[in-house]
Structure 1
Amino acid sequence: MTMCFNCQLHIGKITLLMINLDAAQFAAEIVKSNVAVIDVRTPEEFSQGHIPEAINIDVMSEYFTADISTLDKNCNYAIYCRSGKRSVDAATIMDESGFETTNLLGGIISWVESGQPVTS
């Protein structure tokens, strides 16, 4: 199992530390009571299969920032996309806005390849 803590982003005087987890670690993380799962792919991608209990907030939507502003900042968010690129973008935006996030390395592709469940 690999956990990456070396992804640091320097924004002004704030340093954000992005937590990246492999599929097994991500699966363990999302069963915690204070963690919500966000799929940041398009609604079309989401409808083709997603992690159970995930909500869909498309990071490419012009409403992404407005959509996340309605979320509880006391909750932790486990974020994923198809391969891991868009979820890094979403996590960065959310971290800058004061949320605590975890990113799934390799996205839903790695999730499925590791035998984890999906639903549609």
Structure 2
Amino acid sequence: MKEITAKELAKKLKEEETLSIIDVREEDEVAQGKIPGTLHIALGQLPERLDEIDKDQQYFIVCRSGGRSGKACAFLSDQGYEVTNMVGGMLAWEDEVEK
């Protein structure tokens, strides 16, 4: 599984790279703040919301600490998606968030 650190992902955003990020945390967790521009799809909703995810794009997957995003990466990878897990999750995120 491909991985990226929170600092590396933040650097890509600061360099204004166009990134597709999916946050797989629950609604109440996302309400505390998410990475700006992130698509929220809770882990349990992924199977029924695959039509919202473009197979031609690379996605960075985020959760609270890296565990659920790892599971999401494994699932999406099995479905043919190109995904990268943000290790450490939002606990490691030190940059701006939107609420």
Whether TM exceeds 0.5 here: the answer is yes
Does 1:32 pair with 2:17? yes
Give me the TM-score of the superposition, normalised by structure 2. Answer: 0.89
**Counterpart AA for 2:42:** D
Deviation at 1:29, TM superposition (A): 4.0
Aligned equivalent of 1:56: 40
Aligned equivalent of 1:7: none
Residues 41-52 of structure 1 correspond to what in structure 2 (within 5 A)? 41-52=25-36
**Counterpart AA for 2:97:** V
Distance in 2 (alpha carbons) for counterparts of 1:92 and 1:29:
23
* Secondary structure of 1:69's aligned partner: helix
Q: Number of residues paired by the alignment?
A: 97
**Counterpart AA for 2:25:** R
Aligned equivalent of 2:74: 92
Aligned equivalent of 2:2: 19
Give me the TM-score of the superposition, normalised by structure 1. Answer: 0.74
Q: Structure 1 regions of 5+ residues with no counterpart?
A: 1-17
Distance in 1 (alpha carbons) for counterparts of 2:57 and 2:23:
16
> Higher helix share goes to which structure?
2
Residues 74-85 of structure 1 correspond to what in structure 2 (within 5 A)? 74-85=56-67
Q: Structure 2 regions of 5+ residues with no counterpart?
A: none
Higher relative contact order (CA 8 A, sep 6+): 2
Which of 1 and 2 has greater Rg? 1
Aligned equivalent of 1:6: none
Please, what is the CA RMSD of the aligned residues?
A: 1.4
Aligned equivalent of 1:68: 50
Deviation at 1:68, TM superposition (A): 2.1
Aligned equivalent of 1:14: none
Percent identity, aligned pairs only? 33
> Higher strand share goes to which structure?
1
> Runs of at least 4 residues of structure 1 off by over 6 A?
none
**Counterpart AA for 1:25:** E
